[in-house]
Amino acid sequence: MSAPDAETGDREAEFRAFFERHYAELARLAHLLTGETDAADDLAADAMLALWRRWDRVRAAEHPAAYARGVVANLVRTRIRGAVRERRRIAAFWDRRPEHVEGPDVPAVVDVRTALCALPFRKRACVVLRHAFDLSERDTALVLGVSVGTVKSQTARGMKELQRLLGDRAATELAARRP
């Protein structure tokens, strides 16, 4: 095997090991950020494809797993923005109809996933990364590309909103799961 072939083999083996170590975590992150199981798997796969394409940059990064989480967060953000645009187009279409619904259809029970999906992306990402993934404020800031202060404020505001949506006991239990 020539030197370039050996280097390519090492690169592929290194990526394969990274994939095996982090794919499930990235899919879980995408699931918690989107609330959609099928979309989470697709987003994690898309993230891995993007990481492979930039593997030299990823493996040279100080924190490759944080880099990967950032890629997932960006893909989720793009997906959410697209969904919001689509909902606005649909709402604009249906708003032209003469009949309107008097009251909203409020579900009887609000679970954590539904409550998380109600949070704006940055708050949701901060809460999920801090409480579900046990990342430090610094690591969360690194993943999202924001300051530590932004992580602190967005996490606090997100938890306050979850407390309002879920009730004090449920939000406290969610926060208590962090070691």
Instruction: List, in order, residues 6 or more apart from 165 with CB less than 8 Å away.
Output: 110, 115, 118
3-class SS at 104? coil
Predicted confidence at residue 55, as pLDDT, reads: 94
User: Residues 114-162: pLDDT tens digits?
Assistant: 888 889 999 999 998 998 888 899 999 998 999 999 999 999 999 999 8
Annotated domain spans of the chain: 1-100, 110-179
Give me the pLDDT at residue 108, please.
Answer: 29
- Spell out the per-residue pLDDT of the chain, length 179, in tens: 555 666 777 889 999 999 999 999 999 999 999 888 889 999 999 999 999 999 999 989 999 999 999 999 999 988 888 777 777 666 665 555 555 555 433 342 346 778 888 899 999 999 989 988 888 999 999 989 999 999 999 999 999 998 888 776 555 555 655 44
pLDDT value of residue 149: 96
Contacts of 124 (CB under 8 A, 6+ apart): 33, 116, 117, 158
**pLDDT attached to residue 146:** 93
Beta-carbon contacts of 172 under 8 Å, excluding residues fewer than 6 positions away, are: 163
In CATH, the architecture of 1-100 is: Orthogonal Bundle (1.10)
CA distances in angstroms from 153 to 33, 69, 94, 140, 141, listed in the order given: 18, 20, 37, 12, 11
Residue 103 carries which DSSP code? Answer: S
pLDDT at 131: 87
Backbone angles phi, psi at 62, to 5 degrees: -65, -35
- 43 phi, psi to nearest 5 deg: -65, -40
Assessment of whether the complete model's pTM goes beyond 0.75? no
User: Tell me, which fold does domain 110-179 have in CATH?
Assistant: Arc Repressor Mutant, subunit A (1.10.10)
Question: Scanning the structure block, which residue is given the tokens 């590309």?
Answer: 145
